Amino acid sequence: MTTESPGRLRASSGLRVAVVGLGWMGQVHARSWARLPQHYPDLGLRPRLVAAADPVPSLRSIADAYGFETFVGDWRALVARDDIDVVSVTGPNHVHRDVGVAVAQAGKHLWIEKPAGRNAGETAQIAAAVQAAGVCSAAGFNYRNAPAVGLARDLVAEGRLGRLEQVDVRFLADYAAHPEGALSWRFANATAGSGVLGDLVCHATDLARYVAGEIVELVVDEGRFIASRPEPAAAGSHFARGAGPLGPVENEDYVGALLRFSSGARGTLTASRVAVGEQCAYEIVVHGDRGALAWDFRRMGELRTCLDQDYQDASWSTVLVGRDAGELARFQPAPGIPLGYDDLKVIEAYRLASSIVGVVSTGATIDDALTAARTVEAMALSIAERRWVTL
């Protein structure tokens, strides 16, 4: 996070927002900006949705529904405006680099979705532009924003688990499990850069390093289980069915990795987009020589812990995270009332807005996206060369 910015605002001023890409994630960003003063009134910022850009003309009605003042088809017209302070970049991977660099060079703050480019080289270009411009940035690693994840990180940092020994991360989904799932941009390397590596593995590596420390070495295997898919009948999400002729899937459905951490801990990472029976099964389990913890996104408000017991025959407890954990008190009055996915993105918006007004922020930045991209790049090298790779 930078401490000076040409576009830095006073906390008492407005925040003029633009969004590039108005699909599901762009709409999540729009809702997050709109909700910011509701959950963080003390920040003193009232976002104004100035402009949205998307090449799909039919999304103009969506822009109107969210209250955007202007809708354009070309993101360049949006970035060129002088009445915008911050831009959310939520389009497909292949536009991240060009839009992200242009946003920073225009002196605007940047909230960009992961993986922030198709490869580490593109992510590095965005990071360099952000640093050169002195603007603030946020990257879309929302799972680290869960209050239970923050508690897990604190327990590890405080040594409550002892010496870390094992870190296991699973990110399993079924969104591409149907063989008639449409051949969207996600399955082509020219537009996506990679498959489950860029989509889910980058999330998993960020969660692992946020809780348990840096990954320093890895070896990886991959699998492509659905070799071809039907062309899409029309624009749609990655849950859409195809109806056209079959085309080749160019990237991986599954990744399995062995990890080594800077602490000396060993770990595993498993990710799949074709795991039948699994919907957003995003989990991390950490074992130390004196305790353990586990978190599952599907039970976001809970942290399972095994602490302060003997080495053998220890038992687990389930903690319902309370108002003092992370940002929970901004959203719910008591433990047992969990946050939702959108709430994590509001927290993300808050942490970026805090950095913009000069308040110390703990949010993920483009530098975290670059670390994730370099980790994914090392995984791709390990797959290609069938060997351990040092980061």
Is residue 6 very low, low, confident or very high in pLDDT (cuts 50, 70, 90)?
A: very low
Mean pLDDT confidence for 151-160: 98
Phi and psi torsions of 222, nearest 5°: -140, 165
Which residues are CB-neighbours of 214 under 8 A, at least 6 positions away? 261, 262, 391
Which residues are CB-neighbours of 155 under 8 A, at least 6 positions away? 161, 291, 293, 305, 307
pLDDT for 290-331, tens place per residue?
A: 999 999 999 999 999 999 999 999 999 999 999 899 999 999
3-state secondary structure at position 182: coil
Total-model pTM: 0.94
pLDDT for 215-272, tens place per residue?
A: 999 999 999 999 999 998 765 556 678 778 999 999 999 999 999 999 999 999 999 9
pLDDT at 232: 83
Q: Is residue 349 scored above 50 in pLDDT? A: yes
Sketch out the chain's domains with CATH numbers.
Answer: 14-141 (3.40.50.720), 147-338 (3.30.360.10)
Sheet strands (E) in the chain:
14-20, 46-53, 70-72, 86-89, 109-112, 137-139, 164-172, 215-223, 228-232, 242-248, 254-261, 266-272, 281-288, 292-296, 302-306, 317-320, 389-390
Query: Which tokens go with 332?
Result: 């719910």
Distance in angstroms (rounded) separating the CA atoms of residues 84 and 67: 15
Enter the DSSP assignment of 240: P
pLDDT at 179: 94
Distance in angstroms (rounded) separating the CA atoms of residues 89 and 168: 31
Q: Is residue 8 scored above 60 in pLDDT? A: no
Instruction: Using alpha carbons, select from 72, 69, 138 the residue that is nearest to residue 103.
Output: 138
Which residues are CB-neighbours of 351 under 8 A, at least 6 positions away? 138, 145, 361, 362, 363, 364
